[in-house]
Amino acid sequence: MSQRIDVINYLRELLSGIVPKTHYLKNKKKTVIYPYQTFSLTGEPTRFMGQGFYIDVDIFDNNATSDVPIEKALSAMVEKFNQAEPFYEMTDKFLAQIEYRNDNPIPTGSDTLQRRTIQLYAKIDWRI
């Protein structure tokens, strides 16, 4: 269980470098500050060495006048985890390898609220 928590904490810190307001699973804040993003894991990063899993990221913005903030966040995400040059980082506990897979706009039914979903693929190789 602690390995999964290590991965979640690592991803929260890493993704916060792109969108500072980053939350695991959902934004539980009483006062919402936009833009913000949430992320979840699909698959198990701790089963055995080299196991891959998906990171599903949703970016939200409530800007009635411009698409620029959410598009900047999306562009920064694509740049950081580009398929042509996958992201690699060694920590004290593991090697993280992350690559961008795809993104899509998600209808919100609102004139102002915007949402983009991004899927990343990750491999964690645990240090022994």
pLDDT in tens, 106-125: 999 998 999 999 999 999 88
What distance in Å separates the CA atoms of residue 126 and residue 67, rounded to the nearest whole number? 39
Q: What is the pLDDT of residue 46?
A: 55
The region that residue 43 occupies, defined by phi over 0 for left and psi between -120 and 50 for alpha, beta otherwise, is: left
Q: Which two tokens stand for residue 126?
A: 């645990």
Q: Is the pLDDT of residue 43 over 80?
A: no
Cα Rg of the chain (Å, integer)? 15
Strands laid side by side in the 36-42 sheet = 22-24, 36-42, 52-62, 113-126, 94-105, 87-90
Confidence of residue 51 (pLDDT cuts 50, 70, 90): low
Instruction: Give the global pTM.
Output: 0.90
What distance in Å separates the CA atoms of residue 27 and residue 38, rounded to the nearest whole number? 7
Confidence of residue 30 (pLDDT cuts 50, 70, 90): very high
What distance in Å separates the CA atoms of residue 20 and residue 13, rounded to the nearest whole number? 9
